[in-house]
Structure 1
Amino acid sequence: MISASDARAVILGCSGTSLTPEETAFFSEVRPWGFILFKRNIGTPDEVRALTAALRDTVGRPDAPILIDQEGGRVQRMGPPHWPKYPSGRRVGALPLDLARLGARLMAHDLAEVGITVDCAPMLDVPVAGSDDIVGDRALGTDPEAVIATGRAVAEGLMAGGVLPVIKHMPGHGRATCDSHLALPEVAADRESLAQSDFRPFRALADLPLAMSAHVVFTAIDPERPATLSPTVIREIVRGEIGFDGLLMTDDLSMHALQGPFRARAEAAFTAGIDIVLHCNGRMEEMREIVEAAPLLAGDPARRAQAALARLSTPAPFDVAEARARFEAAWMTVA
C-alpha cells in the first residue's frame, strides 16, 4: 500500500525536454504521484528516456507513473521521425478487433521503451450529430457497443505491452458542443439517454484501473458544476451507476472549462471525490497553487493507486517488425 509519506495526490507536467533545477527541487519537495509528458517534452528517444528517469529520481520511486496522451491521429505526442504515425480512433474503430489490439500493443512498445507506463487512452466518448469536433475522429465509433468492443481491445493491447490505459472522459464527453480546452460544455440530454449511450462504454469497461473525468456539465444531473467538480456526478454516476472503483483523475485543471484560482479548482475536485488531480502545462506558479490543495495519498485513493500499479505486467516476447508491418498494411487501407 502507498503510505502517506510516499506520494501526493497530483500528476504534474514539466516545461521542456529536461528538468530545470527549479523543477527538480520542486518535485523532490512535493513528491507527486506521477508526471505527464507533452510534445514539448519529447526529443530523441534517448532524451525521453533520460527525462523519465530524472522525473522518477526526483521522487525516489522507480515505479512512479509517467503518463502521455498517445491516441494516434490528432493526439499523438510521440511521432515521426523517431516514432511511427498511428491512426485516429475512427480508423482504429474500423479495424478488426485483433488489429486494433495489435496497434495498441505496438504503441505500448514505443512508450515502454522510453519509460512511459501510462497512456491516456482509450477514449470511450460517443459523439452525436452536432457535437464539437474536439472528439470527432478521435472517437472509436458512434455506436456504444462498437466503442466498448474496440475500447476493450485497445486497453488489452496497451496492458499486454506493459502500459496502463486511462479510459476517458468519464462519464462521457461525446455530446459536448464546445471544446473544454476553451470553454465549459453543457450537455442537456436527459439521464435515461445518457445512461443508454454515453455511460455505457464506461460501465462496460469499469474494471480497468484508471479513468479521467470530463469537464462537462450534465444539466440533468448537476446543472451547476462540471463532472470533475461535482460530488453528485462522481458519487452517484461514476462510483454508483457506472460502478468504477479504479483510480479517478481529473482532466487537466488548467483547461479553460474551469474558472477561478488553481487551488480552488483542486480543492473542489477533491471535495467532489476525485482521487488525483492532473495539471499539464508545466507552469510553476500554477503547480505551486495546486499542490497546496493536494493531500498525501491515503485511504481509498491510496488503495486505488496501488491496485492500478499492480496491474502493470512485463510484456511477453514480441516480434515488433513483423507486427508493425502487418498493422501498417491494414490501417493504411482504412478510410
Structure 2
Amino acid sequence: MAIVTGGESASCLTEEMKATISEEVGKALEASLPQFIDRLQTTLLSIMDDKMNKMSDRDTGKSKVCPYNKFMACKPPIYNGEVDPIVCQRWISDIEGVFERTHCDETDFMAYGTGQLRGQAKDWWDNLRKEHRIKATRMMMWEKFKTPPLRYYSPKAMINRIKEEFIQLRHSGESIEKITGILLDKLMFCTKLVQTEEHKIYYHYNMLSAEYREFITPSKYGHLTEIVNAAREREIELKKQIERGERRVFDINPSPAKKPKPNETPKKGIAKGGVPRCRICGKTHKGECYFKNKPCPTCGKVRHVVANCP
C-alpha cells in the first residue's frame, strides 16, 4: 500500500491547476484571436492606405482637403446682401479666389461659402433653404448656387444702368488707376457689347480726356493692358509738367462746375482755344477723328461713337 505524503499531494494539485489554467488561457486566446487578427488587419490596411494616398498625392500634385480653420485663416470676404450687381459679383469672385488658394475641395464650397453670408444675405439664404428643403440645399453644388444670388441681388434695371454708364463713362480728373477700375467693374456686365480686346481698347480710349487721347493711338495696341500702361505713362508726364510749372493743375483736372463769364457768349461747337468740337466723337481734338471709319460696336455703322448711337 502506497502512502501519499503531504508534499506529493500539493505537487499534484499544482500541476493540475497549471494544466487547467493553460487550457483556459488557450481557449481564451483561441476565442479572441480572430478579433485580434481583424483589428490588426484593419490597422495595417489603414496605414497602407495612408501611405498610398500620400504617394498618389505627391505624384499627381493633388493637395489635401482644406480644413475650415485654414479657409478662415485666409479671411474670406463677407457679403451682407447689398443690392448691387458689382458688389455681389465681386464677392463671388473673391471667395472663389480663396477656394483656389486654399485648394479647397468642391464638396466644401457650399458650406464654407454660405458661411460668409451676413444680414439680409443670410436671411435670404435661410428662406431659400426652407423653400427647397435643407437636405436639397446641402446637395446643391456651388455653380448652381451662384445663379440665384446674382439674379436676386442684380436687378435687370440696375444692370441696364451699369451698361449705360459704361458707354458714357468719361475721364474727368480721376487717376488712370481709378477710372480703369471703374471701367473693368462695369465691363463684367457688358460682355455682349464688348467681346474682343479691340472693343476694350476702343472704350478705354474713348473715355480718356483730350490730354491723353492726343498722345495715344489705339491701333498700336493689341491688348487692354498696353493702352492702360500708355495712359499711366502719360499721366506721369503730365504730373511732371505741373511740377516744372509748364502746365496748370486744372488743365488736366478741369472743374465740371466751371461757369462762363457774364459777358462771354460761347460759340456752339467751338471749344476753348478755337478747336472745334468733333461731330463724330463729340470731343475736341485736332486732325482727323480716329472714329471716322470705325464701326460702332452697337449698330455696326460708322461716323459716330456708341454714346451717340441712334
Shorter-chain TM-score category? under 0.3
**Structure with greater helix share of residues:** 2
Q: What is the TM-score normalised by the length of structure 1?
A: 0.21
Q: What is the TM-score normalised by the length of structure 2?
A: 0.23
Q: Which has the higher contact order (CA 8 A, sep 6+)?
A: 1
